[in-house]
Amino acid sequence: MPWGKAMMWIFLLSDTFIFSCFLVGYMMVRISTTDPWPNPSEVFALEAFGYPVPLLLIAIMTFILITSSGTMALAVNMGYRRNRKLTFWLMVATAVLGASFVGMQAFEWSKLISEGVRPWGNPFGAAQFGSSFFMITGFHGMHVSAGVIYLLVIAFRVKRGFYENRPGGYEIVEITGLYWHFVDLVWVFIFAFFYLW
């Protein structure tokens, strides 16, 4: 086990606890409030073809993140095959998908803010809805943004041949991949507990 990979796993373990605390906190305030909880499938519905489609944008974001996980997994594999060109382009594709995810999240935030959703209250029900929404998705979005930067830095180093003669070689692509898959993993839990539950 290379030390870099072990360190990334330990970091991800600590991040697991941070996101768990957020989600458990959200569970606690949702259980304890006596006000009605806003129905996420209505709050996050978008109109398409004249009908409100529940969670439309959130579903698209979910598929984008899964697609980016796929391109990342392929990039790791191509890295170990020492295919620099393909590794570079797959990592860039992953970063572009990640950036579009953040863009859609920004759209979602501005839509909700324009409808009056605030961390301290909203017109659709319990005030805790806004605080959990902005904190959980904000923290996740920050992870995605950091991941995009991380991916691009490593991608351009791969392109330059920086890892060609280094001990460990293209392990770094796998380590970057661990972080990226973790971001996707957290979204699986947010999607289930915040948007669907």
Where does this chain bind another protein (CB under 8 A)?
A: 1-2, 6, 9, 12-13, 16-17, 20-21, 24-25, 27-36, 38, 41-43, 45-47, 52, 54-55, 59, 62-63, 66, 69-70, 72-74, 76-77, 80-81, 111, 115, 123-126, 168-171, 174, 177-178, 181-182, 184-185, 188-189, 191-192, 196-197
Minimal distance in Å, beta carbon 129 to another protein?
11
The three-point CA angle 197-94-78 to 5° equals 125
Helices (H), 50-190: 56-80, 84-114, 128-160, 171-190
Nearer to another protein, 35 or 164 (CB): 35
Nearer to another protein, 102 or 191 (CB): 191
Nearer to another protein, 106 or 196 (CB): 196
Nearer to another protein, 25 or 119 (CB): 25
Minimal distance in Å, beta carbon 38 to another protein?
7
2-11 contacts: CB < 8 A, separation 24 or more?
Answer: 2/168, 2/171, 4/168, 4/171, 4/172, 4/175, 5/171, 5/174, 5/175, 5/178, 8/175, 8/178, 8/179, 9/178
Minimal distance in Å, beta carbon 115 to another protein?
7
Cβ atoms within 10 Å, residue 118: 13
